[in-house]
Structure 1
Amino acid sequence: MNLALLLISMWVSTTSLLVTIIEARAEPTSSTISGHIILFEEEPITQFSAKMEAQSPGLPEVRVVHHQDLNKRILIALIVASTLLGGILLFLSCFWIYRQKTLKHSNGKKGKPIETAKGMQFNPMTVEFNTLRMGSRKGSVAVFNYQSLEDATNNFNESNILSEDGSGLLYRASFDDKLIAAVKKVNSEGPDSDREFKNEVNLLSKIKHQNIIRLLGYCIHSEARFLVYDMMQNGSLETQLCGPNHGSALTWHLRLKIAVDVSRGLEYLHEHCNPPVVHRGLKSSNILLDSNFSAKLSDFGLAVTAGMKDKDNIKLSGTLDYVAPEYILDGQLTDKSDVYAFGVVLLELLMGRKSVENKAGAESQSIVTWAMPQLTDRSRLPNIVDCVIKDTMDLKHLYQVAAVAVLCVQPEPSYRPLITDVLHSLIPLVPIELGGSLRIADCVPSA
């Protein structure tokens, strides 16, 4: 609009100036013409001819023609300038109106996510999350209304609890016939709870991979924090192995498929994220299984980008049995820390045991300490395998998986393989239909 006003003032000034010039030019021209007309009437033709010969021939006529031509040119210039300025003003007015409508429409769209979150108390964290959502559509997640979460979980009824761990309670939520999700009520106790909640939302809004849980949205209601994920029909790996079924649904090949899925998820974090991400909280309770027993990594509250130096700001994960020795002793945190945790999970899949066994009258013993002497002894190895899968696999494959597990839990991080190497070692042991490269005909259990 400022530009339009400037052009209007220029147009008015130009018009006034041109009119003044025309008036100033018109006066002497009129007097000269009238003067010559009078002379033409009063003097005889002979005298007029004589004078014309004495003076410069045709001078009065040239002067009259000159001024008439100048006036016409000025008038044409004025008309052209006025037309151009008018066209420019019309174009700018139309452009300004179009731009205002576009901005109004855009603001209306951006306002919708906030409207869907009515009833949610807005604190500084809420405002920060909403700004993040609107700033990047690609990495945006939905903001859920607290009332909708209450309705979907039947007011967070105990009958809808799927699991519980140190990070919070997980509920089954039915929003409608088409959307059944898992709602996690995050444990808000502790000074780092807000930071971990924000960390998980930020990471999962950017990470998209088939073996990493999909975050549908979040909700902040007063002091409570909620995360909404895809529904995982078969719960966690920990529930499958140590729950009421005691691993009965997990065949040998399904267990290897889960191991491959987990290693694929870790490979994506380590090799394909920029900067690389260290999960730092990998354990069987954070490995979720869908209806096809495809595994997805979850719980990214403790995840950090590789290369973090300040160990004082890095909290140890809640379950120390999965934590690499160098991290406990010296605070060293690398992708090899995740490889160690993966080795513990692989041992759980092999033996169907918890990472730490708490037996009455005896000290708790980690699965690594208990299994290591037997993993390297081929004669003893088949005896420590989970009874559900015992004698159902080719022993060569069992020895190979045990060897991978032993390498992953090495105390010295430099001796551990990269997760990419682990993945390539396990893929040939998984049937093609489960995502590997093994042909079932080639897989005959040996006596």
Structure 2
Amino acid sequence: ETWLLLEYCDMGSLMDAINKTWFRSCSKGPANMRMVLVTAHEMTAGLSFLHSQGLVHGDLSSGNVLLASSPDSPHGFSVKISDFGLSRNMDIQSRIETKTTGTVNYMPPEVLSDGIVSKAADVYAFGVLVWEIVCGVRAWEGLTPPQVMLAVACQHKQLAFPNWVPTEIAKLCHECMEADPQQRPTFKELERRLGNHLGKLQATDSMDLKNFRALSCP
């Protein structure tokens, strides 16, 4: 008999946090970019480690990123990557073809059209995740799965960021969502770049993120 001892993530999923507007002071206000960057940076650290072990997640989504209370974290929680039911070992092959895929809203063109999974597919899904955190809504909201497939795989459409998002952050995420998987950055590079952006932001922003969710609109 086998037992699994798993950590309890008491703050739910990233999807829950987005729906509860934890990343903004009010439902229609802009996201707190420092909080967004801290969360995104934690995700890249976990995914960078996963890829360094030769593994591809294969189903990265806001429902599969869990949050656990962490008093040492600047925003009150730590990020945990979960649900490895579709993960694959890529030690030998740089990409594989599969008929079993993840959530359509997070799939890149090569997965939607050809079922080709690689580390770059996880990077694409990460770009979509950051877009959702920033915008506070589900990617491709209002479109059916076939419509999403048409927009991404055939028309190569990208999700657009609001004008208030810093240009360098929007650019980084658009690189993650490039139609050509060879043009997407690695998680190791993303971890470094996000760390640099976060360092610059922290140097000019002393806001206490632990109190951020207690703020209200005037």
Shorter-chain TM-score: which interval? Answer: 0.7 to 0.9
**Is 1:231 the equivalent of 2:13?**
no
**Is 1:415 the equivalent of 2:183?**
yes
Letter in 2 for 1:293: F
User: What are the Cα deviations for residues 341-362 of structure 1, in whole angstroms up to 9, with x where unaligned?
Assistant: 1110111122112123128xxx
Structural mapping, 1:46-445, within 5 Å: 126=1, 130=2, 143=3, 217=4, 229-243=6-20, 245=21, 247-248=23-24, 251-271=32-52, 273=53, 276-291=54-69, 292-306=76-90, 307=93, 311-312=97-98, 314-317=99-102, 319-358=103-142, 369=157, 371-372=159-160, 375=161, 381-382=163-164, 398-430=166-198, 437-438=199-200, 440-443=202-205
Letter in 1 for 2:78: S
Q: Secondary structure at the match of 2:80?
A: strand
Letter in 2 for 1:259: A
Q: Give me the whole-angstrom Cα distance separating, in 1, the residues matched to 2:201 and 2:37.
A: 14
Pick closer, same or farther for the CA change 1:293–1:254 going to 2, 3 Å. farther
Q: TM-score, normalised by structure 2?
A: 0.74
Unaligned runs of 5+ in 1: 1-125, 131-142, 144-216, 218-227, 386-397, 431-436
Q: Secondary structure at the match of 2:6?
A: strand
Letter in 2 for 1:411: A
Q: Secondary structure at the match of 2:137?
A: coil
User: What are the Cα deviations for residues 218-239 of structure 1, in whole angstroms up to 9, with x where unaligned?
Assistant: xxxxxxxxxx521222211111
Q: Give the aligned length.
A: 187
Shift of 1:427: 0.3
Shift of 1:308: 7.3
Unaligned runs of 5+ in 2: 26-30, 70-75, 208-218
Pick closer, same or farther for the CA change 1:322–1:439 going to 2, 3 Å. closer
Q: Secondary structure at the match of 2:83?
A: coil
Confirm or deny: 8 A CA contact 1:280 1:337 kept in the other structure: yes
Confirm or deny: 8 A CA contact 1:257 1:294 kept in the other structure: no
User: What are the Cα deviations for residues 264-301 of structure 1, in whole angstroms up to 9, with x where unaligned?
Assistant: 11110112x1xx00001111111111112211100011
Percentage of matched positions with identical amino acids = 26
Q: Give me the whole-angstrom Cα distance separating, in 1, the residues matched to 2:94 and 2:203.
A: 47
Pick closer, same or farther for the CA change 1:303–1:248 going to 2, 3 Å. same
Q: Secondary structure at the match of 1:229?
A: coil
RMSD after superposition? 2.9
Pick closer, same or farther for the CA change 1:238–1:277 going to 2, 3 Å. same
Shift of 1:364: 7.1
Q: Which has the higher contact order (CA 8 A, sep 6+)?
A: 2
Q: Give me the whole-angstrom Cα distance separating, in 1, the residues matched to 2:167 and 2:38.
A: 17
Q: Give me the whole-angstrom Cα distance separating, in 1, the residues matched to 2:37 and 2:123.
A: 16
Q: Give me the whole-angstrom Cα distance separating, in 2, the residues matched to 1:327 and 1:364.
A: 13
Confirm or deny: 8 A CA contact 1:246 1:352 kept in the other structure: no
Q: Secondary structure at the match of 1:340?
A: helix
Confirm or deny: 8 A CA contact 1:237 1:285 kept in the other structure: yes
Q: Give me the whole-angstrom Cα distance separating, in 2, the residues matched to 1:403 and 1:309.
A: 26
Pick closer, same or farther for the CA change 1:309–1:422 going to 2, 3 Å. closer
What is aligned with 2:216?
none
Pick closer, same or farther for the CA change 1:246–1:369 going to 2, 3 Å. farther
Letter in 1 for 2:101: L
Letter in 2 for 1:242: N
What is aligned with 1:155?
none
Q: TM-score, normalised by structure 1?
A: 0.38
Shift of 1:438: 4.2
Shift of 1:309: 6.6
Letter in 1 for 2:77: F
Q: Secondary structure at the match of 1:333?
A: strand
Pick closer, same or farther for the CA change 1:293–1:406 going to 2, 3 Å. same
